[in-house]
Structure 1
Amino acid sequence: MRFPTAIKAYLWYFRYATALVIGSVLSLLAAVYLSAAVGTQHWFQYSSPPANRTMNVSRLREDFLRGDSNEKNHTDVMVRLNGTLGLWWRCIQVLRESDHTFETECESFSLNQQFMPKYKKQDFNAEKDLLRTYLWRCQFLLPLVSLALVLLGGLVGLCACLCRSFTPTLVVGVLHFLAGLCTLGSVCCFRAGVDLLNYYHPPPKGVKGSMGWSLYLALISFPLQMMAAALFLWAAKSHRKNYTRMMAYRVA
């Protein structure tokens, strides 16, 4: 009677360890993808027709890089020069006169610019757009919160391994679940904010806007975090029943 019990106990232990390993790998991949998405500028991109590229590029480039916080000026330049927008960067493509190739020039958002209010008519004297203001703030805060939760979950799991305790697995699963919700919330806030920006300040005729690969990296990290959370939560749930059986067999 003891032999089948031992087989079941150690088979459960193998499944438990496998779930932890797979969950850890998924969590690591999700953190890498989300970090790459936060650090790159291809969340949204504009495609302007060739006619717009014959404008005074030098003047537009100076308007873009002069460092002011006028959202209207930056958006106008991005629309005309195939610009891209990220959580911390905005970029344009400028034609080199030497070899007639396009180069990308970027400007980073300062922390002060991230918290600045948005306006419905792209004018400092216009009415403040509170919805888009808070969407903008959430879209760059939520990924940082998500990465912090994943890091905290990793530290809790590491401490659990050093202490030879499986109880904190539930905490790790909950932290990854909350991290996944933060990642999804960031994508939704960014998408809604861009739609409102294009509504109040529509791009010229012929200019097309589309989501970039950075946003899709964030979308990929969301299901990875959820799968990791599901594995950790399953391991925590099965631990209470099966680990007790294994310990009872060892005592017997």
Structure 2
Amino acid sequence: MVDNRYATALVIGSVLSLLATVYLSVAVGTQHWYQYSCPPVKREGSNASELREEFLNGEFDEKTYSETMFRLNGTLGLWWRCILVPSQSHWFKEPEPKMETQCVSFTLPQQFSPKYKYPGIHNEEDLLRTYLWRCQFLLPLVSLALVFLGGLVGVCACLCRSFTPTLGVGVLHLLAGLCTLGTVCCFLAGVDLLQQYSPPPEGVEGSLGWSLYLALISFPLQIMAAALFLWAARSHRKNYTRMTAYRVA
């Protein structure tokens, strides 16, 4: 028999876990983790067509695509890099052209490619930036996998009518929350180091995007879900032990 308090804790924890999973999945799949904003004068003065062609079809080079993002209001994500360019849907030049976002995904080999202390000069590998980059896209996948595994354990616990696996579900959600927090920290540290080696031009401002805030929101949700699962499992175990001792006595 399960006390209503424990059942309520499990339901609330499951809802929080579901919300955290949705938020983190959206954050991983979108490109608005970090965005650059350049003045209109600089944007008009830049050769947008050549920069766009190099960005979309050129070789993968961190310095090249970073400078393009600086000049064309770029956005950066875990799996995407994007720029904002005038639409080419008309053959004539519009006085105020419609702007569109064009993105290029990071391939798996590019995710594992080394980073260098001086972007554009491939002579000295920066191990710290290399591993920060790799962790920032591996940790959210690990976090989602842990939550999925916790969900399977929870379903098995319901089918077996046992409260004991709930402790494992709470531990898995706690580890998932730490992985989510590690993702955000690795990303911010990597962006900060990149801007130290390759600073944006004067007038270009960088800011955090809504995708990163979604990941930040998912972290406390996972921690709260873990706390509820751990509390329910531990309290139910103590209550069950006391009831068993009372019956024996």
TM-score of the superposition, structure 2-length normalised?
Answer: 0.93
1:133 equivalenced with 2:116 (yes/no): no
Choose 140-149 or 53-62, whichever is displaced more: 53-62
Aligned AA (2:207) = S
1:20 equivalenced with 2:10 (yes/no): yes
1:125 shift after superposition: 2.9
* Cα displacement string for residues 138-183 of structure 1 (whole angstroms, at most 9, x for unaligned residues): 0000000000000000000000000111100100000000000000
Aligned AA (1:139) = Q
1:127 shift after superposition: 1.2
SS of residue matched to 2:24: helix
Structure 1 residues 250, 28: closer, same or farther in 2, change over 3 A?
farther
Distance in 2 separating the partners of 1:138 and 1:188: 10
Structure 1 residues 159, 250: closer, same or farther in 2, change over 3 A?
farther
1:169 equivalenced with 2:166 (yes/no): yes
SS of residue matched to 1:45: strand
Distance in 2 separating the partners of 1:67 and 1:160: 52
Which structure 1 segments of 5+ residues have no match? 1-9
* Structure 2 counterpart of 1:179: 176
Which structure 2 segments of 5+ residues have no match? none
* Structure 2 counterpart of 1:213: 210
SS of residue matched to 2:173: helix
Q: Please report the RMSD computed on the Cα atoms of aligned residues, expressed in angstroms.
A: 1.8
Distance in 1 separating the partners of 2:130 and 2:48: 30
* Cα displacement string for residues 47-91 of structure 1 (whole angstroms, at most 9, x for unaligned residues): 001012212110000110114111111001000000000000000
* Contact 2:43/2:72 (<8 A) preserved: yes
Distance in 2 separating the partners of 1:48 and 1:60: 15
SS of residue matched to 1:142: helix
Distance in 2 separating the partners of 1:242 and 1:66: 64
Identical residues among aligned pairs (%): 75
SS of residue matched to 2:68: helix
Distance in 2 separating the partners of 1:67 and 1:159: 50
